[in-house]
Structure 1
């Protein structure tokens, strides 16, 4: 695993319960900015900050993943663990 990869995060939605798997900091940041641009709130901002810091080399991919999972869960798009 490179420094911007993390264990897979499974998401559902936002349309027709489509599923998506993300496993990199870059993909998670792109998802947040491209697919959920109108959302606001502290959880989203924490995730955006952590992802940006990880890309800059100032945070770990694991920390960025944790913040992303926290935001995804808060948005109701985190897929249930099977």
Structure 2
């Protein structure tokens, strides 16, 4: 009985963790989309950055005037949206 209970607890913990991770990923995507549309879309399209690595995106972003005002967390959210 103890073994069954501990297995149930492990499965529950794993599923809960996965659900929370997916929720945070969706929020980051939505946040990135919102920031991109308000700050970047006037000069850039999301397809310009399709398939770009995170480090390369961050290097390019440092050179863009609108991106200089954004935090690294916001830039990461944008990268998750455009990748």
Output the TM-score relative to the length of structure 2: 0.29
Greater length-normalized contact order (CA 8 Å, ≥ 6 residues apart): 2
Using the size of structure 1 for normalisation, the TM-score is 0.29
